[in-house]
Structure 1
Amino acid sequence: MAALAELLRPAEAAVVAAVELRDVNRAIDEHILSKDFISLDNGRRVHAAACTLIAFYFDSARRLTSEERIQAIRESEARILAVEWETWASNLLGDWTVRHDFLTIDLAPFVRRTGERLGDLIAARAMVVSDPAILDGTPVVEGTRVPVHDVAAALAAGASMERVREAYPSLGEREIRLSALYAEANPQRGRPRTPVSLPEGSVIVTDRRVSRRRAAR
C-alpha cells in the first residue's frame, strides 16, 4: 500500500485535502508549505501528508489569522512528515494538539479526514483501469465498460445516487463514489469524449443540450 511520503499532483492533493485546486497552488506559491513538502522536479507535486496542513490552513481561515495558522503548521511539520501509511490508523487516535504561546489547536479532525480521503484515492486508483482494448483506453471501472468520467458527470449534473445506479447497474454506491473521486483527481483534458453509444445496460439520466454562444464581433 502507498505510503504518505508519496507525492501527489495538485489535483489529487486538492481532492485529499477537500479544497479547491487554486488553494493547493496557493499553498505552494505563498510558501504556506515548507520546501520539505514540495517537489518541482517533474511538474508540481506535494507530499501526501501535506494535505492535512493544507486542509487546516484553509478550513480555519475564519477563526485564526494567517500568522497563527502558519505557526501551527511549522510546529507540526516534523511529526506529519514522520507518519507512514502503515501506521496511519493508530495515528488517528493519537494526540494531535499543537501549542504555541497562548494558542492551542487540535489537528486531529484534519488528520482523520485527510487520512480517510487518501485511502479513498488509493482505492479509486486500484479500481480504475485504462486498457487500449476498452473504449480506446478511456479510464473505466475495472471489470466493466463504464467510463468513470461519465459517472462523475452524471453526479455533477445533479443525478441522484439512485438514478446513477439505474444508469449503471453494474456499479454499487462505493464504485460510483470512487469513480467521482477519481475523475476529480484526474480531470479530463481537452473536449469531453462524445460516446458513440451508451455503455451496455445503461439508460439516459439527462439529455439537455445547450447551444454554443457566438463570440461578439
Structure 2
Amino acid sequence: MMAETMAGMDRLLTAREASFVAGVSYDKVVKALENRTVPNRAGRARQRALDLDGVLSLTLSDRLQGYPALMRRRVSRRVLEHLRGDGPDANAPDIIDSDGLVVTTFRTGELFRGVQERLSILVKLTASVERNPDVQGGAPVFRGTRIMVHHIADLLRSGTNRREIQEDFPDLDEEMLELALLFDRLHPVKGRPVRKAGQSEISLPD
C-alpha cells in the first residue's frame, strides 16, 4: 500500500469515514465504489470499505476537477509516482505543469497535509469512543465514562449551550464536544435523517 506510512490508522475506513478523511462528499465515495474507480476492500456483499490508498485517490481526483484532461493525467501520474517513491509526505514539493499557455502549480504537500490532519482527527475519535454491552446497553460512550456520544450530539444540534452541557457533564472538554458531532455524522443512528458529509461542523485543531 502506498499510504501505509500514514501513521495511526491500521484498519479499513467506512465510506463515511473515507468521505471525511478525503474531504469529499459521501455521495462521491459511493459513486467511486460503484464505478470501481477505487476498490471496495470490504470483502463482504453490501458493505463498503476503503484503504488509505483509496482515500488518497479520491482526494486527488477531487482536487484535479476542472483541470484540462491531459494536464490532469500528467499531474495525477506525478503525484502517484511521488507516493510510490516517498509516501504521502506533507513536505512534498509542488508540481508545476503547463498546457500551452496555461501554467499551474499543484500543491502536493498541502493535499497530503489535509488528509493527514483529518486522519489524525479520526484516529483520535476512534480512541475516544467505546462500546461496551455492560455500559448504556452497548451504545457508543466516551471512553471511561457513561456519557452517550449521540446524546451529546443531539444536545448540541438542538441548540443547548455548550457551557450548560459541560456543567452537566464535567468530564467533557471542548474537543470532546466536537468529536461528538463528528461521530454522530460518521456513525448515524439508524432511522434518523443523515447529515450530508459536506455539512462540516468540525473545527480542525491547530
Fold similarity call, TM over 0.5? yes
Q: What count of residue pairs does the alignment treat as equivalent?
A: 182
Paired position in structure 2 for 1:57: 61
Q: Distance in 2 between matches of 1:68 and 1:149?
A: 45
Say yes or no: does 1:149 pair with 2:147: no
* Farther off after superposition, 66-75 or 150-159: 66-75
Distance of aligned partners of 1:105 and 1:162 in 2 relative to their CA distance in 1, 3 Å threshold: same
Paired position in structure 1 for 2:138: 137
Q: Distance in 2 between matches of 1:104 and 1:126?
A: 37
Based on CA coordinates, which of the two structures has the bigger radius of gyration? 1
Q: Structure 2 residue aligned with 1:41, among 17, 38, 43?
A: 43
> Structure 1: which 5+ runs fail to align?
193-217
Distance of aligned partners of 1:99 and 1:151 in 2 relative to their CA distance in 1, 3 Å threshold: same
- SS of 1:174's equivalent in the other structure is helix
Distance of aligned partners of 1:116 and 1:190 in 2 relative to their CA distance in 1, 3 Å threshold: same
Q: Structure 2 residue aligned with 1:94, among 67, 92, 95?
A: 92
**TM-score scaled by structure 1?**
0.67
**TM-score scaled by structure 2?**
0.70
- 1:161-213, Cα deviation, whole Å (9 max, x unpaired): 43443443220012222222222222222369xxxxxxxxxxxxxxxxxxxxx
Distance of aligned partners of 1:74 and 1:60 in 2 relative to their CA distance in 1, 3 Å threshold: closer
Q: Distance in 2 between matches of 1:167 and 1:82?
A: 51
- SS of 2:50's equivalent in the other structure is strand
Contact 2:21/2:118 (8 A) holds in 1: yes
- 1:49-74, Cα deviation, whole Å (9 max, x unpaired): 4334423433554x535665465334
> Structure 2: which 5+ runs fail to align?
1-5, 194-206
Q: CA deviation at 1:100?
A: 4.8
Q: Distance in 1 between matches of 2:52 and 2:43?
A: 16
Paired position in structure 2 for 1:114: 115
Paired position in structure 1 for 2:30: 25
Q: Structure 1 residue aligned with 2:21, among 9, 16, 27?
A: 16
Paired position in structure 1 for 2:199: none
- SS of 1:46's equivalent in the other structure is coil
Which amino acid in structure 2 is aligned with residue 98 of structure 1? I
Say yes or no: does 1:75 pair with 2:78: yes
Contact 2:71/2:98 (8 A) holds in 1: no
Distance of aligned partners of 1:163 and 1:5 in 2 relative to their CA distance in 1, 3 Å threshold: same
Distance of aligned partners of 1:122 and 1:94 in 2 relative to their CA distance in 1, 3 Å threshold: same
